[in-house]
Structure 1
């Protein structure tokens, strides 16, 4: 079994299609199909169950996946060691993240990293769900809860704050909100309850639950509802400097703190390139959260003066 065959196998396993694997490898999908058929013939078993929905790993394919991932890590580690560590990062790195951090933090942090490493390609996958790092849906992921299962490297990046907020227009139309209990008389904006993929995002539990007339699985949709005067909801403090029309409310009665974690596959610890990028990303996110929260505090002090 050749590494080049395993490379094609990994691409199909990750993209679950010949066309996606072809784009990843920059080869024709028909060639990808022939390579997979040849590999299956060589080892005498079917690796993928083919259907109109795509290519799903069989039990044999799942067993081969573990070996292929280890082979990939060995090849990457050997390449780095032989070539030596360049002063600048290069290649492609894909980050998975929930859409709050993906929209309000990662763009500026990653742009700054890429400024210093022009040969580096950074991809941000913004999805409101957990990522499967074993299948390389992403090279690393920013999460709110720290996973406890799997062969993963988990490091805390930073804490961040959240508060209730509403637009000035909404407050002008509906009047001041004197207490958390008074929220029952206001339209709440939040997550779709059965689509909350992380218990740490179930913010409205801190308010005693209740009905959510305007709900989305996307924090950015919620953010824009708030900006349009749709109601009251929980907002990341680091997002508020970009929306001067929103006002924090009841800050003395409700303040939430959550944490960001960087999650990587354990085998990546041997890759200096990934270690360097992870350090840059963590430092950048930590500094950006601190900068934006400090800017918000300064804005709040100025408005209270």
Structure 2
């Protein structure tokens, strides 16, 4: 009779399946790659099956791995529901809530107000992953994600969270030194700030191309916060969301006809979207963006 498989080994398997790489999974779990690799080999030996194929990109599930993944995800969902408090106890949420958001939205809006949600639910541990790139709800890397475009596939539920507006800005100091850009002068006479083209994590970030197909940034960063600092310091002209630039009195909107419209999409895994902590945060976030619509859209 086969010995029971430790739940920790199954959780490590789940981490590898979601991350797609042993090294990345090890970092998420908090162990070194050698340890998680050894646990994987132990699990495969117990099951008598190969769970992953090694590719140049990382680990890809075999048929046996796909079957095990379905079982382990069901076990994971059951374990999460055990930690859920009864519906009648509205004030108590516990466990871990991981939220993946774009760097700008996460820094300038969510982080600014997250204390309110945290204060309502002091027993809840909250991970705010605000970075250039996203964790995937479809792979269960995050409970909720705020994405720049609607996902086209995967076991997820997506809805539009909010529209937002981006405009072209420069600092007052920059304009004093270099003059105000126009459509005729911006390409030849002004230094442009923007994203690094080959590090774009969404096509929705190709802002300058919408102004003029020939525009190309010469001061480039994968971080919208770094771009905002560059523009505020007088280094150049660039596109920023109104929720970042609109409240800075030293930033001036230039070329007023330029207005770029985008939307945030709220995405959850279809199997966990009804967890109380997920529902609570989703409702709080919708209320937050509704309250701050003027900050997102601008005048």
In 2: Cα distance, 1:293 partner to 1:19 partner: 37
Query: For 2:229, which of 202, 216, 224 is the aligned residue?
Result: 224
Listed as ranges, the matches of 1:4-153 within 5 Å are: 4=7, 5-14=9-18, 16-17=22-23, 19-20=26-27, 22-23=29-30, 36-48=40-52, 56-59=59-62, 60-77=64-81, 79-80=83-84, 85-153=89-157
Query: For 2:250, which of 235, 245, 251 is the aligned residue?
Result: 245
> Contact 1:40/1:47 (CA < 8 Å) preserved in 2?
yes
Q: Which residue of 2 aligns with 1:155?
A: 159
In 2: Cα distance, 1:46 partner to 1:55 partner: 15
Q: Which residue of 2 aligns with 1:300?
A: none
Higher helix share: 1
CA apart distance, 1:62: 4.2
TM-score by length of 1: 0.82
Q: How many residues align?
A: 289
In 2: Cα distance, 1:201 partner to 1:21 partner: 27
Provide Cα deviations, 1:40-85, integer angstroms capped at 9, x if missing partner.
222211335689x998354243442233223322332355377865
In 1: Cα distance, 2:238 partner to 2:34 partner: 50
Q: Which residue of 2 aligns with 1:264?
A: 268
CA apart distance, 1:224: 0.9
Judging changes above 3 Å, is the alpha-carbon distance between structure 1 residues 85 and 261 closer, same or farther for their aligned structure 2 residues? farther
Provide Cα deviations, 1:122-168, integer angstroms capped at 9, x if missing partner.
11222222432233332221111111211111011111111110000
Where 1:206 maps in the other structure, the secondary structure is helix
Q: Which residue of 2 aligns with 1:169?
A: 173
CA apart distance, 1:29: 8.8
Where 1:162 maps in the other structure, the secondary structure is strand
CA apart distance, 1:233: 0.6
CA apart distance, 1:242: 4.9
In 2: Cα distance, 1:226 partner to 1:282 partner: 30
Judging changes above 3 Å, is the alpha-carbon distance between structure 1 residues 267 and 285 closer, same or farther for their aligned structure 2 residues? same
> Contact 1:91/1:121 (CA < 8 Å) preserved in 2?
yes
What's the Cα RMSD here?
3.1
